[in-house]
Chains A and B, each alone.
Chain A
Amino acid sequence: MFKNEEMEVNLGPQHPSTHGVLRVKLRLDGETITHCRPMIGYLHRGVEKICENQTFFQGQVWTDRMDYCSAVANNLGWAEANEKLFGITVPRRAQYIRTMLNEFNRLASHLIWLATHALDIGAMTVFLYAFREREDILDMNEAFCGSRLTTTAFRIGGLREDLPPGFEKLVTKFLAKFPSCLEEYENLLSENRIWKKRTVGVAKLSAEDAIALGVTGPVLRAAGVPYDIRKAFPYAAYAEMDFEVPTKTEADTYARYLVRMEEMRQSARIIQQCMDGMPEGPVMAKLPKILRAEVNEVYHATEAPKGEIGYYLVGEKGSGNPYRFHVRAPGFINLQALPKMAEGGLIADIVAAIGTLDIVLGEIDR
């Protein structure tokens, strides 16, 4: 009379906890997930193909619109990949400003992750507090480049403009209050028994699995692998910065939370060092009138807030636009780990698994 039957459920594409338009096909045995497949492509715009039809200069605006929570980090990768292709050396002041803005962007991205991840799991209060600090960072974005979200912050060869007057004051004000804000979030969450019940031991991903799946970023570091491109292959001004790469060995959702919180502290440290050691000088390198590629192809990886973002560019002789452009998006690769994390767990925990991967569908579908 009672048959053991599995049930198929679609999570998304319009589910608020999927952070965009992600559909997850689930097969359930009671409340346990036996099969999980993410279905993507709802936000596909063909960014890579558009960039192939535009000049190297124009391409940057499309990188803003991939991972819209960390547009500055995407811009940095694009600019540096192009500089590698054309053999341009960026002035030191520009490098420092880039590093500083990139770290601010990491803070903004991690704050939005904390806010939405906590909201998914059921902690509403953190959402409001985290967005309060993110607002200050977006204001700084606006002061520097005129836009809050789709920044188009950098140019090939440096920056368009120097820091605006009064920017140092904004940064100092932010850095003075940020540690106490972080403490506030931790007081709200770290010891909270509901938070711990929902995160400790949930959505585990061992280091072996993470490496096999190509997962990078805080998800990999929470499994105990201290791989951070800022340390491993320093770019911009990271070689001159003193910071630590936080790791944890538990490899669960709670460990990833702790890693990201510690990363925010380190980011604030890097920003302070950038402010203290800011060199004087020009912010734009002297560029030739027409950009001509010196090497044929280039792959440049940077550490975006979500993981390794890599730009692969193939240049053609005498052509103003890339012959081939490919993005190694951290969200796309990290999402592959979702079945490994969710299968065998409860259906309620898949929301935590999606949140802890920190995915942005604009980047995954591109």
Chain B
Amino acid sequence: MNKLLRTLIPFDIAKGLSITGKHFAKVFFTANRRKVPFHIVSEYPEVVAKMQPRFRGRLTLLKDEQGEIKCVCCMACEKICPTQVITIEKGKKEGRKMPFPVRYDFEMERCIFCEFCVESCGFDSIILNHQFELAAYNREDFSLGMEGLEQNMFVPSPVGKFSVADD
């Protein structure tokens, strides 16, 4: 008799359905939905996404207090890079004892964001910034060269910079 009742009335499925119902009610009857525990949806393009401090994004060259590029072309990052995306050309600049990178190419299409370059740098002259919206239409937008690498420094992520609506 008991078995027949259990076959006729799907208690087990009702049990599972009640979980969904509970979660639905929790969100539905709360005025401020962001205060619902377990509410994990974020309003991403409008609200800037928060990155952790150690987040690994786009490679950037750092400058010192005088506004000069810190990199001294020791080539440690070029050597350690597992995908060989960094190309540095040594050069000289007037009024500077240390070598100066004439060219610092970073091919972002092939970068795997492992942060080995930053780890190997003995002069703390590069970081991976918190930029994560790295899609672009043209190849030139990835390989930014010296100018782009400097410009990218500490610039907050350009939300919607490459969105279709901008065109």
The answer to whether A and B interact is: yes
Please tell me if the beta carbons of A160 and B119 are within 8 angstroms of each other in the complex.
yes
> Does B116 sit within 8 A of A, measured CB to CB?
yes
Partner of B114, one of A139, A152, A194: A152
The answer to whether A57 touches B115 (Cβ under 8 A) is no
Q: Which of A135, A147, A193 contacts B10 (CB 8 A)?
A: A193
- B16 touching A132, Cβ below 8 Å: no
B54: A residues at CB distance < 8 A: 142-146, 161, 164
Residues of A within 8 A of B55 (CB): 142, 146-147
Name B23's closest neighbour in chain A (CB-CB). Answer: A129
B56: CB under 8 A from chain A?
yes
Contact A142/B52 with A193-B10, A193-B13 known, Cβ cut-off 8 Å: yes
> Counting CB contacts under 8 A, is B5 at the interface?
no
With beta carbons under 8 angstroms apart, the residue of B16, B56, B119, B128 that contacts A187 is B16
Interface SS majority for chain A: helix
B38 at the interface (CB under 8 A from A): yes
Min Cβ gap B59→A in Å is 13
Q: Mark A50-72, 1 if CB is under 8 A from B, else 0.
A: 00001001100110000000000
B167 in contact (CB, < 8 A): no
Q: Please provide the chain A residues from 212 to 251 with a CB less than 8 Å away from any CB of chain B in the complex.
A: none
**Per-residue 0/1 for B105-125: is the Cβ within 8 Å of any A Cβ (1 yes, 0 no)?**
000000011111001000000
Query: How long is the Cα–Cα vector from A154 to B16 in the complex, in angstroms?
Result: 40
Residues 8-34 of B at the A interface (beta carbon under 8 Å): 10, 12-13, 15-16, 19-20
Q: From residue A164, how far is it (CB to closest CB) to chain B in Å?
A: 6
The answer to whether A211 has its CB under 8 Å from any CB of chain B is no
**Interface check B40, CB cutoff 8 A:** yes
Is B53 a contact of A164 with CB atoms below 8 Å?
A: yes
Q: How many A-B residue pairs have CB under 8 A?
A: 63
- Measured between beta carbons, the chain B residues less than 8 angstroms from A150 are 112-114
Cβ–Cβ contact A61 & B82, under 8 A: yes
- Judge whether B80 is part of the interface by a CB distance below 8 angstroms: yes
From B12, B16, B128, A125 is in contact (CB under 8 Å) with B16
Which B residues are in CB contact (< 8 Å) with A143? 52-54
Q: Is A5 an interface residue (CB 8 A)?
A: no
Given A132-B40, A146-B52, A146-B56, CB of A61 within 8 Å of CB of B16: no
A184 within 8 A of B: yes
- For A145, list chain B residues within 8 Å (CB): 54
Which chain B residues (124-146) contact chain A, with CB distance < 8 Å? 128
Distance from B78 Cβ to chain A, minimum over Cβ atoms (Å): 13
A132, A152, A184, A194: the one contacting B115 at CB < 8 Å is A152
* Distance from A181 Cβ to chain B, minimum over Cβ atoms (Å): 9
Within the complex, what minimum Cβ distance (angstroms) separates A93 from chain B? 18
Which A-B residue pairs are the 5 nearest by beta carbons?
A146-B54, A146-B56, A58-B82, A188-B16, A191-B12
27 intermolecular pairs with C-beta atoms under 8 Å apart: A57-B116, A58-B80, A58-B82, A62-B82, A125-B16, A125-B19, A125-B20, A142-B51, A142-B55, A143-B53, A143-B54, A145-B54, A146-B52, A146-B54, A146-B115, A152-B114, A152-B116, A160-B119, A164-B53, A164-B54, A187-B15, A187-B16, A187-B19, A191-B15, A192-B13, A193-B12, A193-B13
Known: A139-B52, A147-B113. 8 other contacts (CB 8 A): A61-B114, A143-B54, A144-B54, A146-B54, A188-B19, A192-B12, A192-B13, A193-B12
